[in-house]
């Protein structure tokens, strides 16, 4: 990738991260509002999670095609770490899709609204840890001169 292309890809990935963070924040606010009312809306949560799933899948596709692996170059440790992180994408996609499907079912397995919210928060935590690990790999690649200083995950 050329330096200009790397910057464009980095800017695109940064924008997607920002959009995902806004979506998650909006969902958290809605979850808190629903909890305050005391009436669970499992089906509606399923519906509200779908755009997040779509955006996350789009973002992961971009990372897989243009991101980590192409940026770490031929550094074996970084390439191995990048491959492991890319493998996590399918697991994260599946976990969010499964949560959407569980919430959509009329016989939801969640014993309470709080339980559904905790499951969502757990998934958000795993996603945040994943993104931090990606940033560490990119920072290591940057420090070793493999990618430009303006690139971020």
pLDDT digits (tens, 9 = 90+) for 31-41: 999 999 988 89
Those residues with Cβ within 8 angstroms of residue 42's Cβ, 6 or more apart along the chain or in another chain: 103, 104, 108, 110, 113, 116
Distance of alpha carbon 141 from the chain centroid: 21
Structure tokens, 118: 């905790």
> HSE-up of 92 (CA within 13 Å, CB side)?
26
Average pLDDT over residues 49-58: 97
Contact (Cβ atoms closer than 8 angstroms) between residue 72 and residue 85: no
The larger pLDDT score, comparing residue 78 to residue 31, is at 31
pLDDT at 122 over 50: yes
Asked if 131 and 17 touch (Cβ cutoff 8 Å), the reply is yes
User: CB of 74 within 8 A of CB of 35?
Assistant: no
Lowest model confidence (mean pLDDT) among 7-16, 104-113, 141-150:
141-150
Confirm if 52 and 23 have CB atoms less than 8 A apart. yes
Judged by phi (left if over 0) then psi (alpha if -120 to 50, else beta), residue 108 lies in beta
């Amino acid at each position: 990738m050329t330096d200009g292309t790397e910057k464009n890809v980095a800017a695109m990935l940064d924008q997607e991260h920002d959009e995902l963070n806004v979506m998650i924040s909006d969902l958290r606010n809605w979850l808190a509002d629903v909890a305050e009312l005391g009436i669970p809306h499992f089906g509606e949560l399923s519906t509200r999670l779908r755009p997040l799933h779509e955006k996350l899948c789009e973002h992961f596709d971009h990372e897989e095609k243009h991101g980590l692996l192409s940026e770490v170059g031929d550094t074996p440790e970084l390439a191995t770490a990048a491959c492991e992180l890319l493998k996590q994408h399918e697991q994260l996609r599946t976990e969010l899709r499964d949560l959407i499907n569980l919430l959509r079912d009329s016989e939801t397995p969640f014993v309470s609204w709080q339980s559904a919210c905790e499951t969502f928060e757990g998934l958000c935590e795993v996603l945040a840890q994943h993104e931090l690990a990606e940033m560490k790999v990119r920072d290591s690649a940057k420090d070793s001169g493999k990618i430009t200083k303006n690139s971020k995950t």
